[in-house]
Structure 1
């Protein structure tokens, strides 16, 4: 009877889980969601904390807590929050690979925010000893690509994939090309180009000119995270539901920024500044 009751209870939970928009429910905290951790295939149930930290003083200028288990849709929103907080029209935003998303980078560009976000290496071509997209040079005047064999990959058609307008190119010489085994296992090597690909190419050029970007980002934003996690202890958040967790995080950020300001200015100078 006990087992039957447990099976029935699990069946009811399954119905609720399938009805959830993201296919998840947390019996402890209804707003918490599965978050990926550094280990392969591992995760924990919790929240995703976003912070924007300034390079000079390492102050947290903007923060938020979300119930989304990835960072891909957070770049533009957090960059805009940081820009508004410091009162500047233009900004340069550094982020890790997890924030790379074409339309987010484009949105930043339209807002006057220069981004430095490395592209995730999702293609297996390079690892398998074949050419990848970086080996193909785009010729803007001809709207074509030059392949490693020197042939032209010309425009063929455009399509819409995941809401993005994508142009497709490939060379006619693929079937008889001597380099084909190093290029593709398909009859033709197809190259996809987003309609706003130039924005991504400009960002990559900025990254190439600033090879220390990743190190600079780590030593800027990871330090406050490490300090906050140390203060919060192993349990991290003590509150439940998103509004309460956001309030808890705001208090942590306030405490961190106050201690940081005291360290930079001194207690008496900070008190005087707050009086103005």
Structure 2
């Protein structure tokens, strides 16, 4: 029995086959085609929507948007790789009707339409809202670090600059001493000439001047670091305790279908202070409807939690547990019990801690009252486990601790609901960063990065809706929406 054989490549076909025959009715490219065609490109503020009467005609922004959506859905984000796909991928050939834009045209489209790409994401979110795909009852908020287009080597802090300048000064001094002595000891047989040493000194001085310029920029900007490739990127620590130059992308994910409702790119290395901002943005997106919000302990901030409650948002955020100096978990701050009637703290050893004074900070005022009992700590057998202080242990009760206690109690009573947080909010990050490999940015500056992540999140939501509704149903709904435009 022979093998299954293909057709001869040189054989002529009397009636040419249609490209459309190669694309099945349930191919995702048909969804991309229908979705982009029903968009109002002028309202979304895309460049080159209106063609000039003179000069070379541009590519239709619809075609380039289709190309990018296809690329982000299929792990192809590079403009050069998209150029290759336009020439060899039958799906892209069908989608672009055999157009073959070059990589520069493709890259410029993303660069020139930063705001428009973000608006496209918002537009699709509105569609999902119209189709009742957002539950608007429970959301999860979280941030994730995406590596920036800037290496750690090209990121400088004040300490790093001081260290580099000191090292250069030592090298210059060493070379100057060698020039004076005229006795050069090198590992190699050939000794460098005076001209070569002078050249090395000039290179070191030039590098030192560059570092000193960075120091001046840091002082003038009042920042603690500077990135030379992408000035908006910052050095951040990720969940694996690795430090890299990154952006912190905040997302709000609706629990009903794990669709991304909103996002924001920040330069902050942590999530503190973002809960109220993201929750209020979601409330506006949901038409002012009250809902519940889940977030991890990185968002545990009294002022943010109070603002959420004041605006009808019920937050479930686990509390921060602060360790003591010894690291003994039995004597962590949460192990000290507060007696509201007596207004005292009772330590794990059963000793009573009394009010001493209010702890204050210049920028925040009163933080909260301090409690201590040095006399009891002096002869306590557990002192070495409790604190490293010679005098004894001091506990500070936050000025809003009564309110925080109500939040903590609500989390305990709704722990089963809170456990859904990871399943809701980590789903998009896992898909985009792990499955699609988009854990780093290709573009520079915050505005460009926001446009790039818009495409990733739009592709994710589009893929989710395909799985939820089915491709045929999604195409039908898009065609219905498109009909009034064509009329």
Whether TM-score is above 0.5 comes out as: yes
Matches within 5 A, 1:1-276: 1-40=202-241, 42-124=242-324, 127-128=327-328, 131-161=331-361, 163=364, 165-171=367-373, 174-175=376-377, 178=380, 181=383, 182-184=385-387, 185-212=389-416, 215-230=419-434, 233=437, 236-271=440-475, 273=477, 275=480
SS of the equivalent of 2:249 reads: strand
SS of the equivalent of 1:47 reads: strand
Q: Which runs of 5+ in 1 are unaligned?
A: none
Q: CA deviation at 1:64?
A: 0.7
- Pick closer, same or farther for the CA change 1:176–1:47 going to 2, 3 Å: closer
Contact 2:349–2:382, Cα closer than 8 Å, also in 1: no
Higher RCO (CA < 8 A, seq sep 6+)? 2
Point out the structure with the larger strand share: 1
Report the RMSD for the aligned CA atoms in angstroms.
2.8
Alpha-carbon separation, structure 1, partners of 2:355 and 2:211: 54
Q: Which runs of 5+ in 2 are unaligned?
A: 1-201, 482-487
Larger Rg: 2
Contact 2:377–2:393, Cα closer than 8 Å, also in 1: no
Contact 1:174–1:189, Cα closer than 8 Å, also in 2: no
- Pick closer, same or farther for the CA change 1:166–1:2 going to 2, 3 Å: same
Contact 2:359–2:396, Cα closer than 8 Å, also in 1: no
Q: CA deviation at 1:165?
A: 3.0
More moved, 195-204 vs 58-67: 195-204
Point out the structure with the larger helix share: 2
Alpha-carbon separation, structure 2, partners of 1:272 and 1:257: 18
- Pick closer, same or farther for the CA change 1:246–1:129 going to 2, 3 Å: closer
More moved, 228-237 vs 54-63: 228-237
Pairs aligned (count)? 275
Contact 2:411–2:418, Cα closer than 8 Å, also in 1: no
- Pick closer, same or farther for the CA change 1:230–1:180 going to 2, 3 Å: closer
Contact 1:95–1:117, Cα closer than 8 Å, also in 2: yes
- Pick closer, same or farther for the CA change 1:204–1:178 going to 2, 3 Å: same
Contact 1:158–1:165, Cα closer than 8 Å, also in 2: yes
SS of the equivalent of 1:194 reads: coil
- Pick closer, same or farther for the CA change 1:116–1:221 going to 2, 3 Å: same
Contact 1:151–1:173, Cα closer than 8 Å, also in 2: no
Alpha-carbon separation, structure 2, partners of 1:44 and 1:221: 22
Q: CA deviation at 1:233?
A: 3.2
